Structure 1
């Protein structure tokens, strides 16, 4: 299993992803709103595989 291409730590359980960041937003993907499950502590974007990690959650190893 390969690691996700990018991990973004966030204090919020609801996040939005449009694939922008290293590329302009126009070259990304449609904006999607994601919810981080508090039992997992992360959620992956279905378009770009970017991982959003809940700060202080079960998957956060930098506590």
Structure 2
């Protein structure tokens, strides 16, 4: 059984990120702002509201690392 891919993936350079679900939509239509921390051993974290995935650049989950 394969997992469903996240709707959006953001590559970030810090292990602390914030997500409010906005982007192409108004922040008023997003969700409450949450602050997330990426575990360096995992290399990514997903938002519990909108399922966006934040991948630490150069981490184990970064498939675009050079």
TM-score of the superposition, structure 1-length normalised? 0.97
How much does 1:22 deviate? Answer: 2.0
In structure 2, distance between residues paired with 1:50 and 1:2: 12
In structure 2, list runs of 5 or more residues that go unmatched. none
> For this pair of structures, how many residues does the alignment match?
63
In structure 2, distance between residues paired with 1:4 and 1:22: 17
Please provide the CA RMSD for this pair: 0.5
Tell which structure's C-alpha radius of gyration is larger.
2
In structure 1, list runs of 5 or more residues that go unmatched. none
Runs of 4+ in 1 over 3 A off after TM superposition: none
